[in-house]
A and B are shown apart, each in its own frame.
Chain A
């Protein structure tokens, strides 16, 4: 069913009994052309682009829990492409461009709001590094604009702009195409569009092992029986190492908990995204009115989807340092997602040491913004056996050759 004003009106007249499920609920078949492990944004996008770009529709997405229940539903919904190096700039801007057309393409409102992303400079050194950052973006053909103190005060009047603030705001820069999107809608939109093209979405299906023949991955053992496939893709974020171990190889990944929290809803106060690398504060206001606050990593390996209280305290203190008016806000929810951090804060998209098995991981703290390009490039390698040009620099071999793409400075979150 196509969603439109007309279908909504027809639904209203028919008592809203005409709606069909947005995606199918499938029993696993015994064989597929391509299996995708992980029903988050990246896995679902991979399935959609396999069907749409490559005509491969005999595909199943295997999800251990429910789709979009991992990091796709646990991030702070920010999209942006303000990275430093040409390889990353190409990759993330391709993703942002896909996001810009996604609601129309998927016929699903992902509520993309390009409200701009503002980074704050609190010192002379911050000003210099942000000038370098913005210039690097412009060299890569991505718009960026340095902001004066007064421009920032006009963009976000709730900020404490007083000269005697603990961390005075001296300036900053913005990417105006950055913003937010509804995270669940991205997963649901891709799931619905993939399902419509014939992809099986199989929830509550945990992969417990790989079937290998002559050293090649030819299928998986799951909690719902064994399933065979020509090619297999992993898009499991924080659980990538667990799957790699089942398949018999290691990854340069460490899993950490990354927290976020939201306040009670309040009236519109902040219509941009504020990131203050100096305090670690990463704040936006959701369409419901909640202040959405992203924290820094809990810096020890963890698979627990909850964070430490001391990290939460630190991020609240940092947020209050720039937004003192938030001090009376009550926090409604706090949670954590398990993120797959690699040493250069850049992703891995391509072949694994096991023939027939491919992976998309290593997005660390920034996977949400990359969902469209992660799906696009993993689908390309699964369909053709060759890397997409955008993914070529992001291979596993770089950790042996030493050709790292170190985006730690632009990843936005303290590592």
Chain B
């Protein structure tokens, strides 16, 4: 079981959080083609390895934050604010 370091509440058990999936997805303009809109809604990198994703501390402060996490080892590589750019 993972422990995530909530930027507001500190280290808490995974069970307190919900994952919101891939982060940094940019919504296309409303006049986008069906192809672009479909890709925006459904198509994902789904990487095996480091993944940038959104989490919410649902049973704590309620805040959304970003996580860089390895999908194989589940190691947390970085925790950063939703407004921050991805770490390099």
Residues in A lying within 8 Å of B, measured CB to CB: 239, 241-242, 245, 250-255, 299-304, 308-310, 342-343, 399-402
Q: Which residues on A sit within 8 Å (CB–CB) of B57?
A: none
Separation of A400 and B32 alpha carbons in the complex (Å) = 12
Q: A255-B71, A301-B19 are in contact. Are A308 and B14 (CB under 8 A)?
A: yes
A400 touches B38 (CB 8 A): yes
Structural contact, A251 and B14, CB atoms closer than 8 A: no
CB distance from A283 to the nearest CB of B (A): 23
B72 at the interface (CB under 8 A from A): yes
Selected from B15, B22, B45, B73, the residue in CB contact (under 8 A) with A245 is: B45
Q: Are B46 and A254 in contact (CB under 8 A)?
A: yes
Inside 8 A of A400's CB, which chain B residues have their CB? Answer: 34-35, 37-39
Is the CB–CB distance between B51 and A301 below 8 Å?
yes
Residues of B within 8 A of A308 (CB): 1-2, 14-15
- In Å, the complex CA distance between A242 and B46 comes to 8
Known contacts A251-B43, A254-B44, A400-B35: A301-B71 contact under CB 8 Å:
yes
Would you call B42 and A343 a contact (CB within 8 A)? yes
Instruction: Looking at the assembled complex, report how far the CB atom of A117 sits from the nearest CB atom of chain B, in whole angstroms.
Output: 30
Supposing A308-B2, A310-B14, A400-B34 touch, asked if A302 and B46 sit within 8 A by C-beta, the answer is no
B72 and A303 within 8 A (CB): yes
B75 CB → nearest A CB, Å: 10
CB-CB under 8 A for A304 and B38, given A241-B45, A245-B45, A299-B19:
no
Cβ-defined partner of A304 (8 Å) among B14, B39, B71: B71
What's the least CB distance linking B86 to chain A, in Å? 16
Given that A301-B19, A308-B2 are contacting pairs, would A399 and B42 also be in contact in the complex, using a CB cutoff of 8 Å?
yes
- List, in ascending order, chain A residues with CB within 8 A of B45's CB: 241, 245, 250
Q: Is residue B30 contacting chain A, with contact meaning CB distance below 8 A?
A: no
Report A299 CB to chain B, min CB distance, Å. Answer: 6
Check A250/B14 contact, CB under 8 A, given A301-B19, A301-B21, A310-B1.
Answer: no
> B77: shortest Cβ distance to chain A, in Å?
14
**Does residue B88 face the partner (Cβ distance < 8 Å to A)?**
no
One digit per residue, 1 when the CB lies within 8 angstroms of any chain A CB and 0 when it does not, for chain B 30-73 equals 00001101110111111110010101000000000000000111
B38 to chain A, nearest CB (A): 4
A253 touches B34 (CB 8 A): no
9 pairs, CB–CB < 8 Å, chain A vs chain B: A241-B47, A252-B43, A300-B19, A304-B74, A308-B2, A308-B15, A400-B37, A400-B38, A402-B34
Q: Which residues of A contact B13 (CB under 8 A)?
A: 310
- With A and B bound together, what is the CA distance between A221 and B35 in angstroms? 30
Contact B46 A304 (CB under 8 A): no
Once bound together, how far apart are the Cα atoms of A192 and B17, in whole Å? 46
